[in-house]
Amino acid sequence: MQLLEGKRILVTGGTGSLGKVLVRRLLSGELGQPSKIIVFSRDEAKQHAMRVEYLNRRAVTDEVIYRNYERILDFWIGDVRDIHSVTSVVRNADVVFNAAALKQVPTCEYFPFEAVQTNVGGADNIVRAIREHDLPVQTVVGISTDKACKPVNVMGMTKAIQERVFIRANLDCPETRFICVRYGNVLASRGSVIPLFHEQIRNGGPVTITTPDMTRFMLTLEQAVDTIFVALRGAKRGDTYIPRMPSARMTDIAATLIGDMPIKIIVTGIRPGEKLHEILVSEEEAHRTTARDDYFVMLPILPELRSEERNAQWLENEYSSAENLMSPEQVRELLRRHGLLSPDQTAMEGELLR
């Protein structure tokens, strides 16, 4: 039997960029066919749009994910900040993916307590619901970010605490496995830089860069879900899975998207809370982080949860986006391969200027 066969799945923040791809992948049955997938979020408009999208696609395709839509997918209005709302939905789940978050760095800087309530309080509410009601949830996956490592902004600080809330929960809820994933910038997700660059190019420029030296890790939404699924298969209680991914200069991404078009790049200065480079594993975390295939696995900081790792090779240094940077040619190929750049620049120009 496959891992999620017959399971009841809850995806908080299920109408977000990651949540939507995660739901589609879950519906495909690649980890087994769930009996129910609950999309939990507080935005009824996004839920309605997602529901309509599945209805419309079902009419023109016989793909399994759309055939399964009505039988499996359920939409639930609620807020991770509300313990009563969270308890009512978590009691119906075997596996929980917590994708609900306030994630835009400047927004969190201007409204820090809002970020605390969603990113920290929401995670704690999931733990409280399981602990206080003795709910038989098998696994909870906390979805984190590189900004949680050596955090300098509110978003990263709240995500770092969210990681610790979930890892600590393994001591309070011994029948539930709490694990985390941590990864970098997701290409073309809502609110990220590539859609912004595309919009600026469509409008004739200029393209805005906060600082010429800024670097970021790069992965796609599909690779983010791959990371979640790999962790779901292999993580022990308290583990954090981190993909080994390429990184790039923001100037190279902007220049690649602009190509030969007469569009200027201007430097606007680092925004509130931004880092020059991101880090996925700090020096302090390296001594408990080991490589497994295409991923790093960070063991829990709490010794009560740490199991023996035979023949483990621990990292010696931090894992930073400033290292192993892609060349401009590699950036172009990455964007082309994932449908963010047409095979030839002429086609790309036509697409962006339509």
In a domain, 70, yes or no: no
- The encoded tokens of residue 127 equal 């733990």
Residue 25 within any structural domain of the chain? no
What is the distance between the alpha carbons of residues 97 and 13, in angstroms, rounded to a whole number?
Answer: 9
pLDDT at 65: 65
Q: Give pLDDT, residue 310.
A: 60
Strands 177-183, 185-186: pairing is unpaired
Q: Give, for all 354 residues of the chain, the pLDDT tens digit.
A: 589 999 999 999 999 999 999 999 999 999 999 999 999 999 999 999 999 988 887 655 556 666 667 789 999 999 999 999 999 999 999 999 999 999 988 899 999 999 999 999 999 999 999 999 999 999 999 999 999 999 999 999 999 999 999 999 999 999 999 999 999 888 766 667 888 888 899 899 899 998 999 999 988 899 999 999 999 999 999 999 999 998 999 999 999 999 889 999 999 998 887 889 999 999 999 999 999 999 999 999 999 998 776 668 999 999 999 988 999 999 999 888 877 774 344 344 343 333
3 state SS of 176: coil
Task: Collect all residues with Cβ–Cβ distance below 8 Å to 282 and sequence separation of at least 6.
Answer: 149, 150, 318
Q: Which residue has the tokens 């969270």?
A: 86
- Tally the residues of the chain: 354
Domain encompassing residue 165: 78-353
pLDDT at 274: 84
Please report whether residue 2 resides in a domain.
no
pLDDT of residue 324: 85
Q: Tell me which residues are annotated as active site.
A: 147
Number of domains in the chain: 1
Q: Is residue 39 part of a domain?
A: no
Q: Look up the CATH number of the domain holding residue 218.
A: 3.40.50.720
Listed in sequence order, the DSSP H helices in the chain are 17-28, 44-58, 64-67, 69-72, 83-90, 105-110, 112-115, 122-132, 154-172, 193-202, 221-234, 250-258, 283-286, 328-337, 345-353
pLDDT at residue 58, rounded to an integer: 63
- Residue at 216 is within a domain: yes
Q: Does a structural domain hold residue 11?
A: no
Q: How far apart are CA 334 and CA 187, in angstroms?
A: 10
pLDDT computed for residue 354 by the predictor = 33
The verdict on residue 99 lying in a domain is: yes
- Residue 108 is classified by DSSP as H
- Whether 64 maps to a domain, the answer reads no
